[in-house]
Amino acid sequence: MNEALSQANMVEQQIRTWEVLDDRVLDLYYELPRAAFVPAAARALAHADAAVPLGGGAVMLEPKVEARLLQEARPRLVENVLHVGTGSGWFAALLAKLCARLVTVEIDPGLAERARGLLAAHGLRNATVVAGDGLAGGVEGAPFDLIVLTGSVAKVPGPVFAMLAPEGRVLAPVGVAPVCAVQRLRLAEDRLVAESLFDTWIPPLANAPAADGFRF
């Protein structure tokens, strides 16, 4: 099967059937070559309905999961966006196409360097890759209109909310194994408002807070 057909099958048989109907998202999966972001040793999995190992416990999420996350994030072309959990750089590439400015943070310096090269190679000049702990706060470029976590957390740390612009929102997979709820969160009059969107399992971010004392 050639790559174009394999990519089309991924969109029509995996992504679209997982309630991803936003044409902006679907079009990106035809436009950008997902295989280019997959490590060479795992290239056969580029369009498979499976997570792709990146080393050190990091993974590239299943296509349907990452597409659903992108759809629920609802990025806008005028927005300043923070992404935590760069990994392969693929999700960052998708986000960069749908916002004005993207800062993507990766705790693994090797993965950060690889992603930086891939994003530059695909002409995504509005994307900046930072090596560091995005959950610790203080990311240059704040405040952000949208913050997206592509690894799960038992709870979203306070420093993440501190980087939000007024009326900003966070999209995060919240919970512990074997399931987490992908939630859209915002602060309203010093109160946390959380909207649960769908359940799945996404591996936790490195340095994510422990589950002890998890509350909403």
* 3-class DSSP assignment, residue 155: coil
User: What domain range includes position 112?
Assistant: 64-200
- 101 lies in some domain: yes
pLDDT tens-digit profile of 123-162? 999 999 999 999 999 999 999 999 999 999 999 999 999 9
Q: What pTM was estimated for this model as a whole?
A: 0.95
Q: Are strands 58-60 and 52-55 parallel, antiparallel or unpaired?
A: antiparallel
CATH code (residue 76) = 3.40.50.150
- Written as one string, the DSSP assignment of 106-153 is ESSHHHHHHHHHHHHHTT-TTEEEEES-GGG---TT-SEEEEEESSBB
* 3-class DSSP assignment, residue 178: coil
pLDDT tens-digit profile of 38-72? 999 999 999 999 999 999 999 999 999 999 999 99
- 87 lies in some domain: yes
- 21 lies in some domain: no
Number of separate domains in the chain: 1
